[in-house]
């Protein structure tokens, strides 16, 4: 296994109104390690956001973070191609950050874990859903399911 982490950015896009500090903090990590980002795009035929939730992300949102690779997703889980790309990189761990810590970020953790990767949540680079904008609920769930959490200051120790 490689000794360097990879970065996975979840849904930092206009539809989710990420705070400026989140976009700035994540952008500062781009270029320091391999990175991917997901962008949620709406397609009601694939994911029934409007029918079930009465809301949907934009149909053409782009990532606000210039990751090495951008993967479009429909629904909560990252697309299989994103996970396959990360598996091929053979990172020591995948540092996860972004929007919706208690939903989409957590779903990414499950997908990474199930693929045999080692997900680590960057707790100072997540925002939560409308139920908990702080991201604390997502961090508690992450700790319970995957154990590994860190902050930007811990990244040199994870390399």
- 126-140: b (≥16 Cβ within 10 Å) or e: bbbbeeeeebebbbe
Q: CA neighbours within 13 Å on the CB side: how many for 6?
A: 25
Structural domains in the chain plus CATH codes: 6-40+59-158 (3.40.50.850)
**Full-model pTM:** 0.92
Taking the C-alpha atoms of residue 152 and residue 26, their distance in angstroms, rounded to an integer, is 9
Q: Of 36, 35, 40, which Cα lies nearest the Cα of 18?
A: 40
Please work out, in degrees rounded to the nearest 5, the angle formed at the alpha carbon of residue 15 by the alpha carbons of 12 and 20: 50
Phi, psi of 38 (to 5 degrees): -105, 150
Q: 106 is written with which tokens?
A: 């957590």
Which pLDDT belongs to residue 103? 87
Phi, psi of 146 (to 5 degrees): -120, -10
Paired sense of beta strands 6-10 and 69-73, if any: unpaired
Which pLDDT belongs to residue 46? 86
Q: From first to last of its 159 residues, what are the pLDDT tens digits of the chain?
A: 346 999 999 999 999 999 999 999 999 999 999 999 999 988 888 888 888 888 888 878 899 999 999 999 998 999 999 999 999 999 999 999 999 888 899 999 999 999 999 999 999 999 987 777 777 888 898 999 999 999 998 888 776
């Amino acid at each position: 296994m490689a000794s360097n982490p990879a970065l996975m950015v979840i849904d930092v896009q206009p539809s989710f109104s990420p705070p400026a500090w989140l976009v700035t903090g994540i952008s500062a990590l781009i270029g320091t390690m391999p990175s991917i980002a997901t962008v949620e795009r709406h397609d009601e035929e694939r994911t029934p956001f409007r029918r079930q939730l009465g809301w949907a992300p934009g149909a053409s949102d782009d990532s606000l973070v210039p990751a090495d690779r951008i993967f479009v997703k429909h629904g909560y889980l990252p697309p299989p191609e994103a996970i396959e790309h990360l598996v091929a990189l053979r990172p020591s761990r995948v540092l996860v950050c972004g929007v919706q810590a208690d939903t989409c970020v957590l779903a990414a953790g499950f997908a990474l874990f199930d693929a045999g990767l080692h997900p680590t949540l960057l707790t100072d680079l997540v925002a939560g859903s409308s139920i908990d904008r702080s991201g604390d609920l997502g961090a508690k769930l992450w700790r319970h399911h995957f154990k590994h959490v860190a902050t930007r200051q811990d990244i040199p120790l994870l390399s």
